[in-house]
Structure 1
Amino acid sequence: MSVHSMCLVFLNIFLCGFLHVESSNKVLVISMDGFRWDYIQKANTPNFDDFAAKGTRAKYINNTFITKTFPCHYSIATGLFEESHGIIANSMYDPVTQKHFTMSSKESFWWDGGEPLWATVQRSDLRSAVYYWPGSEAEIRGLRPNIYFPYNESVNFYSRVDTVVQWLANDSYNIDFAMLYFHEPDHTGHMYGPDSTEVLTKVEEMDAILGYIVESFTNASLWANVNVLVTSDHGMTEISHDKTIDLLAYVDNAAMEQVPSMGPVANIRVADGMLEEVIANLSSAPHLKVYRREEVPEFWYYKNNERILDIVAVADEHWSIIMNASAYTYNGKGGHGYDNRLMSMKPIFYARGPDIRSGYETRPFNSVDIYPTVCRLLGARPAPNNGTIEHTSDFVTLPVSQAASVRSQTVLSVSLIYVSMAIFCVQEVLRI
């Protein structure tokens, strides 16, 4: 082929597609909801053990307050404390819009307080896919995942794995980053309690799921270029029907305008002029700590948001805040949402992949550190966040400086080469 012909071919490729650079490995983040850190010690989990032997594990990690599914998952996705991203409970009230949030709410204004990983990677010219994650069905800051599904709890766990493996292995999807969610062992923990045989059986079933993920990755030759992070949102503790704190036993219903969330923590909007009286009355309740919003302890990072209402009432572990004991019918034996400093609320963390240290146990770190860690592994530029990249530097083998700039530097360098070649080819073609 002549130089002239070669230049024409090159220019056609250059102008049609310009450039796609694979300069970083892919990442998959998996959450097994309600997987308490010490379940591993109580159940038979050979696949988790093998995963740790070939990668890194933490004894536990520190999640955000309150320790509920939606707030904690969105903190993992955004690297932000709950007061920063605004998803402060599974159920909440927004005093600005006067709207109520449920776990089915998809309006953008609820979620725009943070930039989740699937949006961050898209801003770095990568592609994302999410198989269920709180917020993934909403348009957030103008973006949605490139691939996502409406939540459907009935979808088989193995089927979810098969789909995610296809995303990462099949070039037609061209997915760089994926998230995968399982609602167990949380569901079983709520029904039977964390110390039940049913939970241990479910933990062993989730261990089998992890084994299937590992096997599927091996069969698809993904371990060479995909880093896998396995974590959870929170733990679980024992609760009982006789350990309840009835708000109406201490405060008149008319004094509380909004109580959108209860259980371990009650978020209360008080009628005008009633704040001091309500605080005084609730403060007499046993097993309950009562805070004005501005007096919530700093270590919870849970006061600088308008959706956190006038009073934050926090129950002692094992106790539940309710409204009207005579109508209370919940009979679950497990709960979460309590103080994130409690060991019963701590979740798991495991990681394995080409950029992860092997056979290593890292010190406990914060769930908000996962966001900048994923950005580092992908070479993506993170949005402002509350995470600390140094907290995970001991087990991520990719240097921080390299990870932070590898994609942009590679794209720039290769782009300059291609541009130079294009200029040469144009000159060569014109000369002919």
Structure 2
Amino acid sequence: MVFFRDSAWLIIKFIGVVLTASWLSLAAFSAHAINKHAINNTVINKNAVGLKNLASSQSAESSKNHVVLISLDGFRHDYIELHNAKNLARIAKAGVRSRSLTPVYPANTFPNHISIVTGLLPIHHGIVDNRFHDKLRPSKEGSYAQYSMGKAQGDSSWITAMPLWHLAEFQGHKAATYFWPESDARIAGALPTYLYHYSKHADYQQRVDQIVQWLSLPEAARPLFVSGYFSLTDTVGHDEGPMSEKTKEAVAKVDKLIGQLYDRLNALSIDVNLVVVSDHGMTNVADSHQIMVESLNIADDFTVLNNGAQVRLYAKPEVTHEQIEDEKNRLRVLAEGKFIVLNSVERDVRHSQYNARTGDIIMETAPPARFKSEGDTHVSKGSHGYLNTLPDMGGLFVASGPSFKQGKILPTFSNLEIYPALAEVMGLALLAPIDGEVKVLREGLKEQ
């Protein structure tokens, strides 16, 4: 992986994303207001494209390597064997599978979904956790503004990156998203051509039908890139644990849907690459190992956020560096081996260096322990969000199609490789520096 070495390079990256996206957005939208047509919760953004004259030679119209990227939230790397996912095994045999897929830190849903479709670490794309504060943004209540899952729909400035659907749109192609986290964020004023806003009540079969329908459209209307999201295995994994019978049933349900999608895509008159991933794995947790946040008696000088694998503390404006260090030392004494307070080296390893969003103090525990607040009455038997290199945090990568080799098993690799690999498959130029680099996944790709 290629990482930014200093803040100057990060600034260059951010300026590159903003200027490129803003210039392309201006070219597409300056003459007209965004024109949307909503049908049954679907948004068709008619003016999101029309930039074929601006597309680079790497994204020529003749290159039509369609990609369908599906996320199965919380689907652990070994669920295929553990829960007998026959269809995913069949797809892997016809294509490529990795032994595991290493998530970014923390191994949570939103930072990883954004990393998969941007090739950037959370500290660079901005979504550093499922929930976090930004110390540079005051809130109306006098504290710090807080991000929570899906908030970028109303304020896309939380994200400083160019997702795959925008990469395709800005180079003259159409893209479609069905519930991918933050896919309805209006980055640089633009949305994917076809879009479904998230609803937890949406039917799973409808998602498969819609994806096939999109790819059955006439060429001029057909999306080059489609992404979809299924949350079932994560929801059940939390409630019942990764080894439970109900989790096995959830795996069977999504496996059947993916098998159906694979067969229907293969029946189309066009070639389509199906890529199935997950954002993270799942591990067993136990209430007998829970750490009550209130028992730590954290000083009022800090805003406390999150439960689960980490707790982030944000120092209030008047708090000094010495007070922050004193609180770190106090918490380390209290830890007694139940958790750690990350030092600067540990934060560097996790690519969670200090900035306005990551927190002044990060406490981290390991499974089967988890942090819990007194107001949290939910009993979880499974969880994630832990150190991303733990085996149980590993996710799924399976891909099959004309761009992938057959019967190839790859070593574990980082999910940051997915973005540049899929851009290459679709013939898209990268428009800004990223953290990901195609290394291990290169062995699974056919020569273009």
Q: Same fold (TM over 0.5)?
A: yes
CA distance in 2, matches of 1:220, 1:267: 48
Per mean C-alpha deviation after superposition, the further-off stretch among 244-253 and 266-275 is 244-253
Equivalent of 1:331 in 376, 379, 398: 379
Q: CA deviation at 1:163?
A: 0.4
Which structure is larger by alpha-carbon Rg, 1 or 2? 1
The equivalent residue for 2:174 is 127
The equivalent residue for 1:419 is none
Q: Does structure 1 residue 169 correspond to structure 2 residue 238? A: no
CA distance in 1, matches of 2:315, 2:288: 27
CA distance in 2, matches of 1:109, 1:197: 40
Per mean C-alpha deviation after superposition, the further-off stretch among 19-28 and 46-55 is 19-28
TM alignment of 1:12-411, pairs within 5 A: 21-98=61-138, 99-105=145-151, 106-171=153-218, 173-222=221-270, 225-256=271-302, 258-271=303-316, 272-273=319-320, 274-284=323-333, 285=335, 286-292=337-343, 294-323=344-373, 325=374, 327-382=375-430, 383-399=432-448
CA distance in 2, matches of 1:45, 1:112: 35
Is this contact kept in 2: 1:255–1:278, CA < 8 A?
no
Q: CA deviation at 1:109?
A: 4.5
Is this contact kept in 2: 1:43–1:204, CA < 8 A?
yes
CA distance in 1, matches of 2:113, 2:293: 28
CA distance in 1, matches of 2:70, 2:407: 20
Relative to 1, partners in 2 of residues 1:91 and 1:110: Cα closer, same or farther, differing over 3 Å? farther
2:120 is aligned with what amino acid? L
CA distance in 2, matches of 1:147, 1:109: 18
1:245 is aligned with what amino acid? I
Q: CA deviation at 1:239?
A: 1.4
1:220 is aligned with what amino acid? L
Q: What SS does the aligned partner of 1:228 have?
A: strand
For structure 1, the residue ranges without an aligned partner over 5 or more in a row are 1-16, 400-432
Identity within the alignment, %: 29
Q: What SS does the aligned partner of 1:194 have?
A: coil
The structure whose residues are more often helix, as a share, is: 1
1:282 is aligned with what amino acid? L
Per mean C-alpha deviation after superposition, the further-off stretch among 270-279 and 80-89 is 270-279
The equivalent residue for 2:142 is none
Structure 1 vs Structure 2 CA RMSD: 1.9
Q: CA deviation at 1:81?
A: 0.8
User: Normalized against structure 2, the TM-score is what?
Assistant: 0.80
Q: CA deviation at 1:304?
A: 5.0
CA distance in 2, matches of 1:226, 1:304: 42
Is this contact kept in 1: 2:410–2:440, CA < 8 A?
no
Q: What SS does the aligned partner of 2:214 have?
A: helix
CA distance in 2, matches of 1:328, 1:214: 40
CA distance in 1, matches of 2:206, 2:293: 44
User: Normalized against structure 1, the TM-score is what?
Assistant: 0.83
Q: What SS does the aligned partner of 1:316 have?
A: coil
Q: CA deviation at 1:253?
A: 4.4
For structure 2, the residue ranges without an aligned partner over 5 or more in a row are 1-51, 139-144
